[in-house]
Structure 1
Amino acid sequence: MQTETIVYIILAGIIAFVFAYFQYRYKEKSMTRLGMLFFFLRFMTVFAVLLLLINPSFDKVSTYVEKPSLVVAVDNSSSINHLNQREKAEHFIRSIAENQSLNDKFNVKFYAFGKSLKASDSVSFTEEETNIYDAFRQLSQIYKQTTAPTLLISDGNQTFGNDYQFISSQYKQPVFPIILGDTVQYTDLKIQQLNVNKYAYHKNKFPVEAILVYSGNGNVRSKFEISRGNTVVHSEVVDFSKSENSKILNLNLPASSIGLVNYKATLVPLNDEKNKVNNFRNFTVEVLNQKTKIAIVSDIIHPDLGALKKAIETNEQRSVSILNSEFENIKINDFQLFILYQPNNKFNYLFEQLDAESKNQFIVIGPKTDLNFLNSTNENFTFEITNQTEDYQAEWNRNYTPFLVQDIGFEEFPPLYSNYSQVNFFVPFETILNKTINGISTGSPLLATFEKDNRRQAVLLGENIWQWRAQSFLSHQSFNLFDNFLGKLVQYLSTDKPKNRLNIDYESVYMGSGNVVVKAEFFDKNYIFDARKSLEITVTNNSTNENKTVPFVLKNNNYQVDLSGLPPSGYSFTVRVQGENLSKSGSFQISEYNVEQQFLNADVNKLKQLAENSSGASYFIENSNQVFDDLLSDKRFVPIQKSVKKTIPLVDWKYLLAILALSLGLEWFLRKYNGLI
């Protein structure tokens, strides 16, 4: 308590004493017992009131004992089942829960992980992907400020994610791996990896790369085959030895029929192989009838040109040619879309040809664009020319309707460099992205599309879109999000199909270990997104003719349905809108592949390295009970006595109010009883 507060309390006592003295002792010749009682009660009343006004604070210190946490992270992937370790793992988990000494010393917390981490003490060992690194990353946030030794019950086999053996730089807790599996080396042949493009073109050949691996000591011979149905389309003999234990085969297969074509790659198993699942791999190729050709026309050299070309050509259905404005020898009808990059007056002939042939176009406008020329040759929009420039960032318009657009983090992208001018459209248009300056929306379009006379056009008002593709990679470690966005825009512009009220977004091929998600978007008759409708999808297994109807779920600005529980096969589907005479059909293939079944052993070396890096210790499941004794005797994990200091103001002390009420009430009662009032 501060000295100033103590002085105020002393002064309050003096004032209360003087006040009581003046009322009950001043001018009184003698003090009776009743007078002394009145004096005391009045003193207490005034003193309590003054104390409430001063409201001093008192420090209250409470202590408690905090036990360390024991984190039990259980690998819930199907590889535990595949290695026949489920029963041992479940028995060990029960022994942790039933060990009273362990529970007395630690706060035991159970987690299960596969693709993601979940707080749970029940496991099913059915997840088809494993990310040990991400599990530790999430645990590092939960136990950042506490002592939490960690039991990792796993075979150490990770199917995706960063290398977890060096996670100790982020996760500052000792890790004690409980290794599920053994170190016995079995003779094994497997298809380590199969690299195939999703798309091929009719009457062409498509490449296949197969990486084959052998584990064993002797010399063996096998055969690698690729079959389509009952027909073997490729076969070759492969030899392995202890020193030459891998092969990379490159071959080309003919694309002889249009549509989804299923293939099966087989590395013929040896007689004594324990795991034969990893000797087979299914894959699907979509054979297309033609390729979309796109021309990028520019008279300047800019990084945007290469970024646009790379992003568009990630889809094997498309090819891009970069041309200048003087290409009279090129036939315009060879291309389905023209991207006109910062046009100038040299583009005059090209614009005339595009208008004559009603070709779709995508115009990119920047500081090097001749706006006077563009205003004179274009009748759909015009610019106010100011001869000034500005940096504009993007704001996603979730109400854009012509096709499905996903927010890929537009607001985090670097600004585009453009003319400081207002664009005025003379035709109905829809905005994909709006301009913002310093986070303030200008209400002006940055990227817009419009349709006129069955001709589709788009306008991007800024250069340096290559920086968007680079930022997308930095944020997501992949170009896919940006490339898919640009691919959808190109697909919309390169076709002449009328606007649809029902749009479906899906993949033609899904891997068996991934998510099978189909998205849909429905618009009313004014082409405004309608979130009130109920959509459903009927899926038919082409092999068994079994039907399954599943409703869509509304998420943000589209409808979604997760079909991940479907077994590998070919499927056809129909999406219907209830209450509307609208439906759309399609087909997709789920390829059979479970990466968790490719492992023969536990990854002992990585788990041991993880234990060493984190100052822990590793144990095989057969002698796992030793970890209990080690944890109980480890001096690093002891309860910690902590104290909490609380500052409590006097006004919160309810007894002072009771004293005040009692002194006032008792004084009034005694005075009334003795006829003094």
Structure 2
Amino acid sequence: MDIITGITWWMIIPVILTGIVYAAILYYKNSQLQLSSFLKWTLFAFRFTLVSLIAFLLLSPHLMQTKKVVEQPVIIIAQDNSASVALSKDSLYFKNEYPAVLQQFKDEIAGEFRMDFYTFGQQVNKSGTLDFNDQRTDISELLQSISNSYYNRNVGAVVLISDGIVNTGIQPELVATEFPFPVYSVALGDTTSYPDLSIVDVRYNQMIFNQTDFPVEISFKGVNAPGTQVKIELYMEDKLIGTELKKIETRSYTGTCSFVVSASESGKKRLTAKIIPLEAESQLLNNSRVFYVDIVNEKQKVLLLSLSPHPDLGAFQSIFEDYFDVTTAYIRTFSPDDTDYSLIILHQLPGKGVDNQTIQKLLQSQSNASVLVVVGPQTDLAVFNSLQSGLQFVGTADQPMIEAYPVPVKEFALFSVESYMWDRLRGFPALTAPLVEMRTPVSFQSAVLQKVKSVETYFPLIGFSETPSRRWGYITGSGIWKWRLADYQMNGNQDSFREIIGKTVQYLLVKKDQRRLRLHVGTEFMLNEPVRFRAELYNKSMEKVNDAELKLEVKHIDSGSEYSFLFSRSDNEHELNAGRFPEGRYVYNSEVVYGSEKLQANGEFVVLESSLESRQMIANHDLLYRISKVTDGDFLYLAELNQLPETLRTNQAITSTASFTKVYDSFISLPAILMLLLLLLTLEWFIRKYNGTY
């Protein structure tokens, strides 16, 4: 126990002197006091102690004490709440009897240890409701969440109760290798393989253009049905449009079949892929897959204008050719016409040694088109600066070129890209960029920065600016074709390249929103996934407000069922969790009366019947065993659950831990100090009163 002050202990001398001087003036300089010498010294001591103590308290002293803190071990019970548990052959048991078994187990654990209970599936919920309705399972998220929430805590064990079927997130074993607590896995479900046919995957383009043909590729799987001939059917709006027969060659066979579908009318269309079930097949939920395509009438027009042929042009075309009407041209032979373009891509333009007046005339005639500029060795930086003000190069004389590696900006928020794709971008090759300083306005948004010779700069490699008439995008280096090749070499596909460059183009193609009522909601939801809306309301000055009541009507197209909602207000927005909807297509309409005006916004979304949980019905106990082994835990079956409390109770590693911590208490907040001050004042007052003085 120590006394701590924020100043030097030499300050105690003025404290003591203050008490002495005050008490001396009161009792020895005051001639009117008719008291004996003993009483004067006694009262002097009381007043000296009182004043000195008060003066000492003005120094803000603290009492430091070392306290022993004992923490009981925590047993974390994590229950799989996904639909696959209840879809097994023991579904009635899990819905009716199992909750009581689990509650008894929780009570036994809580009687011996501190117990925390979680459910997991689509998300991790503490003390969540057990209903087996979650349509995804992510064990890796559970392990990461527990590891973060219980860092440096005394966790005795994590009891993982699951069927081991995982369909979302990263491999749980990767997280388990760094998991700090032992995992006791309790296996649910059935590992027996029954005869089964299933639709594994459907590959298609979500956006199709009217009066065109588009491919649909269906992957199917047959288990324990060798030699069986199966029929795969494809329906559009309940109309059969294709059939194909396939033979199951082995006990575990995976095959594909392809269909070519004609897009004859615009709108969102429902397609269903089906595989006719076997007579002995008991699980039919995975025999069909519903998906939707959006058939639109007209492609947006993109002009890809370049100084000369370059591999980057092919990289751009590989992204655009399925979705846009792309015109590729070269500046020396290009003549502007009356075509209205939605996006103009200038590759190494304005360029050196060419007539850049053509570009200026093009931008003047296409005043509403967005522009994406790719800077390269042949770009004329001086003319580039004169064309726009969003990005300026300082020192535009001939500059050497450097290798600029990509560094994603975490705070970038103009559009979203999966975090793992941004991480992949860090490993992509460098682009060829000019070695020159860049200046940008405050409103400029950088998505990717340049890294030069291991030094991360603040110069943009990919960035955006906006003027009242158009949006500008900038790629300040040439050679993105190398990103496309690197993505395939590293990951076996080009998904990251297509996502990042595709989202860049998609953002530029979106026109500035002048609507005063805007609704934000996803376009596709899984069954049992809540549908959340967010609305923005603006006044005539385009200032965001939320002082009006906003209503929403949702209608199921097929059944005609209607649902009414009222938004709640938060900050300057309106929010609504509309809950879960049955499978199908829905249209929604929102309206609000603001002042004397009636504002409306509408749209549509779909709820997919297909569930990730129904695609894999065989429990994966091997995964649970590996997690337990790598974390030094144990693996049990559900029938052994009643033995687990005793196992945990006799485990000597699960015990209370003691730690010592320093506690600082302010002197002025200690009750003993207050009592001492009151006692000194009371005694002094009583003695003076008793002896007839004041």
**Distance apart, 1:549 and its partner CA:** 2.7
Unaligned runs of 5+ in 2: 29-34, 450-455
| Matching residue's letter, 2:85 | I
Q: 1:302 to 1:449 in 2, by over 3 A?
A: farther
Q: 1:185 — aligned with what? A: 193
C-alpha distance in 1 between matches for 2:151 and 2:343: 54
Q: 1:301 to 1:70 in 2, by over 3 A?
A: farther
Contact 1:140-1:170 at 8 Å conserved across structures: no
1:80 aligns with 2:100: no
Q: 1:115 — aligned with what? A: 122
| Matching residue's letter, 1:192 | V
- SS of the residue corresponding to residue 339 of structure 2 reads helix
Contact 2:154-2:656 at 8 Å conserved across structures: no
Deviations 1:327-379 (A, max 9, x none): 34896638554233442452323544665687735263869754765788x7x
**Distance apart, 1:300 and its partner CA:** 6.9
Q: 1:520 to 1:362 in 2, by over 3 A?
A: farther
Q: 1:517 to 1:477 in 2, by over 3 A?
A: farther
Aligned runs of 1:104-503 on 2, under 5 Å?
104-120=111-127, 122-148=129-155, 149-216=157-224, 218-243=226-251, 245-299=253-307, 316-328=322-334, 333=339, 335-341=341-347, 342-344=349-351, 345-352=354-361, 355=364, 360-362=369-371, 364=373, 370=380, 373=383, 387=395, 433=445, 447-451=465-469, 457-460=470-473, 463-464=476-477, 480=499, 483-484=502-503, 486-492=505-511, 500-503=515-518
Contact 2:343-2:508 at 8 Å conserved across structures: no
Q: 2:583 — aligned with what? A: 568
Q: 1:550 — aligned with what? A: 565
Give the number of equivalent residue pairs.
Answer: 636
C-alpha distance in 1 between matches for 2:3 and 2:381: 76
**Distance apart, 1:171 and its partner CA:** 2.2
**Distance apart, 1:239 and its partner CA:** 1.9
C-alpha distance in 2 between matches for 1:65 and 1:614: 25
| Matching residue's letter, 2:563 | K
Structure 1 stretch 514-523 or stretch 269-278: which is displaced more?
514-523
**Distance apart, 1:277 and its partner CA:** 0.8
| Matching residue's letter, 1:70 | I
1:621 aligns with 2:638: yes
Q: 1:252 to 1:48 in 2, by over 3 A?
A: same
C-alpha distance in 2 between matches for 1:96 and 1:382: 64
Contact 1:408-1:481 at 8 Å conserved across structures: yes
**Distance apart, 1:204 and its partner CA:** 2.8
Q: 1:29 — aligned with what? A: none
Q: CA RMSD in A?
A: 5.1
C-alpha distance in 2 between matches for 1:131 and 1:274: 26
**Distance apart, 1:95 and its partner CA:** 0.8
Contact 1:67-1:105 at 8 Å conserved across structures: no
Contact 2:370-2:509 at 8 Å conserved across structures: no
C-alpha distance in 2 between matches for 1:447 and 1:622: 63
Q: 1:58 to 1:599 in 2, by over 3 A?
A: same
C-alpha distance in 2 between matches for 1:566 and 1:319: 37
Q: 1:604 — aligned with what? A: 621
Q: 1:594 — aligned with what? A: 611
Q: 2:73 — aligned with what? A: 68
Selected match of 1:43 from 24, 40, 45: 45
Contact 1:178-1:618 at 8 Å conserved across structures: yes
| Matching residue's letter, 2:511 | Y
C-alpha distance in 1 between matches for 2:17 and 2:341: 100
Could you tell me the TM-score, scaled by structure 2's length?
0.75
Structure 1 stretch 87-96 or stretch 645-654: which is displaced more?
645-654
1:97 aligns with 2:102: no
Q: 1:358 to 1:175 in 2, by over 3 A?
A: closer
Q: 1:28 — aligned with what? A: none
Q: 1:225 to 1:670 in 2, by over 3 A?
A: closer
**Distance apart, 1:638 and its partner CA:** 1.2
**Distance apart, 1:255 and its partner CA:** 2.6
C-alpha distance in 2 between matches for 1:612 and 1:202: 55
Contact 1:570-1:588 at 8 Å conserved across structures: yes
Unaligned runs of 5+ in 1: 26-32, 399-404, 424-429, 452-456
Deviations 1:634-675 (A, max 9, x none): 111112244444355655554455445544543454355445
Contact 2:445-2:465 at 8 Å conserved across structures: yes
C-alpha distance in 1 between matches for 2:331 and 2:54: 87
Deviations 1:543-580 (A, max 9, x none): 22222233345677765655552212233333323243
- SS of the residue corresponding to residue 356 of structure 2 reads helix
Structure 1 stretch 599-608 or stretch 15-24: which is displaced more?
15-24
Q: 1:202 to 1:382 in 2, by over 3 A?
A: closer
**Distance apart, 1:386 and its partner CA:** 6.0
Q: 2:653 — aligned with what? A: 636
Q: 1:607 to 1:503 in 2, by over 3 A?
A: same
C-alpha distance in 1 between matches for 2:538 and 2:18: 79
Contact 1:286-1:508 at 8 Å conserved across structures: no
| Matching residue's letter, 2:139 | I
Q: 1:338 to 1:115 in 2, by over 3 A?
A: same
C-alpha distance in 1 between matches for 2:350 and 2:25: 99
Percent identity between the two aligned chains: 21
- SS of the residue corresponding to residue 290 of structure 2 reads strand
C-alpha distance in 2 between matches for 1:96 and 1:482: 52
C-alpha distance in 2 between matches for 1:77 and 1:330: 58
Q: 1:515 to 1:295 in 2, by over 3 A?
A: farther
C-alpha distance in 1 between matches for 2:319 and 2:123: 30
Contact 2:119-2:130 at 8 Å conserved across structures: yes
- SS of the residue corresponding to residue 628 of structure 2 reads helix
Q: 1:321 to 1:174 in 2, by over 3 A?
A: farther
**Distance apart, 1:431 and its partner CA:** 6.6
